[in-house]
Amino acid sequence: DPLIFKGNLSIEILHCKHAATLNNVEVHVKVWEENSLKRSIGSSEVLSSKTNKQSAGPTGTVEWNRTLTFKDISVDSWIGISCRDSKLGIIGNTSISLRAIDRASASKETKSTTRS
């Protein structure tokens, strides 16, 4: 299910993990307005393990340590996250951890989602 946040958000992709060998893995983040999934508020740049010179460690984890900022999101928004391999497409059994920061209240909350 999509993750729901409210406020002005900064999203930090903490890691993308997959059991298989990671070649060129990309994380895609898009934001939609609640109850209007066809209307995209904004989408991130593609975070690519290849272009950012990130490689999988022995645990199969790719770390970006990058922050994506979406400005002026004042409604409850759906955060859609997908993790792709250039050869395999959307990867199954993938866990993505991220942190969303509501800059208005300066509160921090960590969410995670698993796609199988």
Q: Per-residue confidence of the chain (116 residues) as pLDDT tens digits? A: 445 554 555 555 555 555 444 555 555 555 555 555 444 444 444 444 444 444 445 555 555 555 555 555 444 555 555 555 556 555 544 455 555 555 555 444 444 444 43
Domain ranges for the chain: 1-56+74-95
Q: Which residues contact 15 (CB under 8 A, 6 or more apart)?
A: 61, 62, 63, 64, 96, 97
Nearest to 56 by CA among 84, 88, 15, 28: 15
| pTM score | 0.37
In one letter, which amino acid is 26? E
Contact 9, 70 (CB under 8 A): yes
Question: What phi, psi does 114 have (nearest 5°)?
Answer: -125, 130
The one-character DSSP state at 44 is P
Specify the pLDDT at position 90.
55
Rounded Cα gap, residues 92 and 89, in angstroms: 9
Specify the pLDDT at position 108.
44
